[in-house]
Structure 1
């Protein structure tokens, strides 16, 4: 075989192998797509079948076995969410303490599945809620997400609060890059903006400690914040004049939090926020598998995936095993909590799961508290 013939033969063989690989990949992807569509269609048929079954059993005289209502469910792609005394973690160091909240989970998936395993594909629409964000969490967000980029002129921010003339003010300290890195301190008021979803941090006094001429320049001339600091454009934080504006829906990592701000207050160690909207239903206690649980996260929806569980027109209540503090729940690492959990399925199909707090080992839980919650 001549050199040219051998070259042509090898080229044809390579093209043939490449074509077979391409067709194989396309076939596998097509089959996977068909499988996903079939799975979702099966879920919808199962929901319809279960709905018809509930209607039939509702007419039965055997009330003990008839499923209980899970309440009015939102359309596919959404789930009702109720929280009580929860520390909700987005990351290991970014969290919020939720005393109570009524919310709606929205799935960004095209198939309408509310998937707890994909927090990037979820959004939280808060209604009536009471939330506290610790200053240490705000420091983390400001230092990493807001001013952690290469063009920032601010670093090492520390946030707390101080009393001044009978009012509690937000105090922000750190280092500011002018000619060199200089210490600075800002005292500010915090209020809800007239623009929806915006928190305004209004600087009352800005000083730079260490160099008297800079202190005099900033204190008397009133150097503007927006000429000094540059937040990351995707952080939800903007600066206008001497005002820092925080857009709630972009301030936290996914899942994004939306809500209509009600009031905002400065505590000793946290920013305390209330959101206004529709409150929990009057019959919430009848919907909860365990209404006596002091700390819980409860959701109900048409198509919900939580770990290995797929719930169809049902509900699940995640309950803290212990009662001495808030229920610590991590939206990205709850599988670690599931690994040491127990679950019970009730006759009506509702599910309750007893979980350990995020960051706690099962051996750390007092035995009497663990048994008491089961």
Structure 2
């Protein structure tokens, strides 16, 4: 028989053993909970509305493919291009980031294929306000005009540049030359053939005779997307446009009376799925990748922005997309893609 004293000792021992087991289980439970919460915080924390995409991870690719059709694509109030069809890729500059359309400096656009048209007036604005708008600039009030010129019995497209040139004092000038594409380096070249100043048609001849040329007369600081080389103006087209940073390979350039037709190509081919809305001609489509618009976040994007009217080109302003988007309507399709029908920017601001 076990006396009461021994029974008490056995019971106390069992209670102590049980307490140790419970304490260990509690510690392990707390540790496991911390791991789960930490994982949830890093991998599944929702975006703060309107904030940056920090600590957010998905299995989507880092960039989003873009398909543009019949767009009046605005980069600023004055700078735009006419896009017939263009395929590109928007890539975040930060590693592991999302494509944040509210910050045009946070991503770049690599153009893969298609064509776009830049009007003469847009190029004039870029030259006057972006390229030569700095203290000590040797040129101002530039105007550009493309025209047909007789060259040995053959009509050739030429460029007429006029404006004011600083040669000690400001003098009016006119330059006639050719504009062509250096395909190998993806550069635009303006080659002066005739230069006049104050109505003197022999200005270029006189400059050549004393060993001077545009490079020596009109020095341009580096980093402005333009370089003088002899009597050539070398233009780096992707450096003279405002953000977002644009890149790509220009395979051809055709000079028209009212501007430049640019053609892009690359070895990269994108297999887009069928569009959510097929019977439209004016649209912008985003495919794959994570994309942020204001307080909205799309994972593995499938977004088609459709012109509400379809009567003329789709007037889309990248920096001010919120206004027409707020005036439009959105629909979630069966496959999870989103279709946003929005008015032209020009109509939204009326």
TM-score range, shorter chain: 0.7 to 0.9
Distance 1:217 1:199 in 2: 24
Q: Which residue of 2 aligns with 1:29?
A: none
Deviation per residue, 1:232-264 (Å, 9 max, x gap): 533211111111111122111111111111111
Q: Please state how far the C-alpha of 1:117 moved relative to its aligned partner.
A: 0.9
Q: Please state how far the C-alpha of 1:201 moved relative to its aligned partner.
A: 1.5
Is residue 149 of structure 2 the alignment partner of residue 160 of structure 1?
Answer: no
Distance 1:255 1:156 in 2: 26
Is residue 160–residue 175 contact of structure 2 (8 Å, CA) maintained in 1?
Answer: yes
Is residue 91–residue 99 contact of structure 2 (8 Å, CA) maintained in 1?
Answer: yes
**Of the candidates 196, 205, 208, which is equivalent to residue 207 of structure 1?**
196
Deviation per residue, 1:111-131 (Å, 9 max, x gap): 321111111111111111211
Superposed, 1:89-104 pairs within 5 Å as: 89-104=74-89
Q: Please state how far the C-alpha of 1:35 moved relative to its aligned partner.
A: 8.2
Superposed, 1:116-265 pairs within 5 Å as: 116-165=101-150, 166-210=155-199, 212=200, 215-222=201-208, 223-265=212-254
Please say which of residues 110-119 and 152-161 is displaced more in the overlay. Answer: 110-119
**Of the candidates 106, 109, 117, which is equivalent to residue 91 of structure 2?**
106
Q: Which residue of 2 aligns with 1:355?
A: 342
**Of the candidates 292, 315, 322, which is equivalent to residue 328 of structure 1?**
315
Q: Please state how far the C-alpha of 1:307 moved relative to its aligned partner.
A: 3.0
Q: Please state how far the C-alpha of 1:231 moved relative to its aligned partner.
A: 3.5
Q: 1:281 to 1:95 in 2, by over 3 A?
A: same
Superposed, 1:19-38 pairs within 5 Å as: 38=45
* Structure 2 counterpart SS, 1:313: coil
Distance 2:68 2:268 in 1: 12
Distance 1:201 1:208 in 2: 18
Unaligned runs of 5+ in 1: 1-33, 49-74, 365-374
Distance 1:279 1:88 in 2: 23
| Structure 1 runs (4+) greater than 3 angstroms displaced | 34-44, 219-223, 278-282
Please say which of residues 227-236 and 105-114 is displaced more in the overlay. Answer: 227-236
Is residue 132–residue 270 contact of structure 1 (8 Å, CA) maintained in 2?
Answer: yes
> Which structure's CA Rg is the greater one?
2
Distance 1:105 1:360 in 2: 27
Distance 2:55 2:166 in 1: 60
Is residue 161–residue 175 contact of structure 2 (8 Å, CA) maintained in 1?
Answer: yes
Deviation per residue, 1:180-232 (Å, 9 max, x gap): 2111111222222154231112222221134x3xx423245434111232435
Distance 1:188 1:133 in 2: 19
Whichever structure has more helix as a proportion of its residues is 1
Q: Please state how far the C-alpha of 1:136 moved relative to its aligned partner.
A: 0.6
Deviation per residue, 1:50-85 (Å, 9 max, x gap): xxxxxxxxxxxxxxxxxxxxxxxxx63211111111
Q: Please state how far the C-alpha of 1:104 moved relative to its aligned partner.
A: 1.0
Superposed, 1:272-291 pairs within 5 Å as: 272-278=261-267, 281=270, 284=272, 286-291=273-278
**Of the candidates 64, 76, 79, which is equivalent to residue 64 of structure 2?**
79
Distance 1:313 1:160 in 2: 45
**Of the candidates 322, 331, 338, which is equivalent to residue 325 of structure 2?**
338
Deviation per residue, 1:318-348 (Å, 9 max, x gap): 1111223211111111112212111111121
Q: Which residue of 2 aligns with 1:68?
A: none
Distance 1:257 1:41 in 2: 25
Distance 1:308 1:342 in 2: 16
TM-score by length of 2: 0.78
Q: 1:159 to 1:305 in 2, by over 3 A?
A: same
Q: 1:353 to 1:238 in 2, by over 3 A?
A: same
